[in-house]
Amino acid sequence: MSNIKYIIGSFGDPDELMHGIDKLQENNISIYDVYTPMPIHGIEAKLGVKRSRLDVAAFFFGITGTITMLTGVYLATVVDWPLNIGGKTHFALPDFIPITFELTILFCAFGLVGSYYASTHLFPGRAPRVMDLRATNDRFVIAVDAKENADHAKIDELLKGAGALEVKYNERKYISYE
């Protein structure tokens, strides 16, 4: 048993998966992570995943875009090369609202998605760290660290009791590396 690194409980139904998480947690078995083919609402509260701060980041990226455009246009139209257009003010703010808005959105979107990719380690060519290949298809998977939780028989029993269709003992952390 000592070579086993992770115990994988593979469920066919999200409700049973939630039940499985409850069962494991009631028995003080720590869950490494859960992999699902779709988002499951309420699961993050159970596993203690904190609220995302990406919205705050998005706001600041957006405001950076706003300031960048207003500053850029000011420098171009007032400082660098002021043009007299029928005696109108050089810094004709209403005219610059559409482009300022566009740059706000552009910075916000790229900053937000960039932060998301960075915070969840997504980038082109990254080796996928998959514990069960069906977790992106039709299986809802709970991964338990086998070293931290010694009582493997109990984990097996709890997972199956909650409705797991299959319990696997992985000797490698990520099977996708094979």
Partner 1 sequence: MSGHNESILREPLITGKNITYAKITDDILMPVENKPNRAWWIGFIVSLCGASLWVFAVSYTFWTGIGAWGLNKTVGWAWDITGFVWWVGIGHAGTLISAVLLLFRQNWRNSINRSAEAMTIFAVICAATYVVSHMGRPWLAYWVLPLPNQFGSLWVNFNSPLVWDMFAISTYFSVSLLFWYTGLLPDIATIRDRATGLRKKIYTIFSFGWTGSVKTWQRFEAVSLILAGISTPLVLSVHTIVSMDFATSVIPGWHTTIFPPYFVAGAIFSGFAMVLTLLLVVRKVLGLENYITMFHIESMNKIIIVTGSIVGVAYLTELFIAWYSGSPYEMYAFQNRIAGPYWWAYWLMMTCNVISPQLFWFKKIRTNIAATWILSIVVNIGMWFERFVIIVTSLHRDYLPSSWAMFYPTWVDVSVFVGSIGLFFTLFLLFLRVLPSIAIAEVKMILKSASEQSKMELIKEGHLDKEQMKEYIESLEKFDSVKQEEYAKL
Question: Interface residues with partner 1 (CB under 8 A)?
Answer: 12, 14-15, 33-44, 47, 49, 52, 54-55, 58, 62, 72-73, 76-77, 80-81, 83, 85, 92, 95-96, 98-99, 101-103, 105-106, 108-110, 112-113, 116-117, 119-131, 133-138, 176
CB 40 within 8 A of CB 14: yes
CB of 159: closest distance to partner 1 in angstroms?
A: 17
In the chain, DSSP assigns E strands to: 6-11, 33-35, 140-145, 166-170
Amino acid letter at 109?
Answer: A
CB of 12: closest distance to partner 1 in angstroms?
A: 8
User: Quick one: 87 or 124, whose CB is closer to partner 1?
Assistant: 124
How far is 33 from 11, CA to CA, in rounded Å? Answer: 14
CB of 89: closest distance to partner 1 in angstroms?
A: 11
Q: Find the helix packing angle between 93-119 and 54-74, rounded to 10°.
A: 140
CB of 6: closest distance to partner 1 in angstroms?
A: 13
Which among 54, 48, 12, 23 is positioned nearest to 33, based on CA atoms?
48
User: Quick one: 103 or 167, whose CB is closer to partner 1?
Assistant: 103
How far is 28 from 158, CA to CA, in rounded Å? Answer: 12
CA 121 vs CA 48, 117, 124: distances in Å: 19, 6, 10
User: Quick one: 134 or 152, whose CB is closer to partner 1?
Assistant: 134
CB of 117: closest distance to partner 1 in angstroms?
A: 7
User: Quick one: 133 or 150, whose CB is closer to partner 1?
Assistant: 133
User: Quick one: 73 or 164, whose CB is closer to partner 1?
Assistant: 73
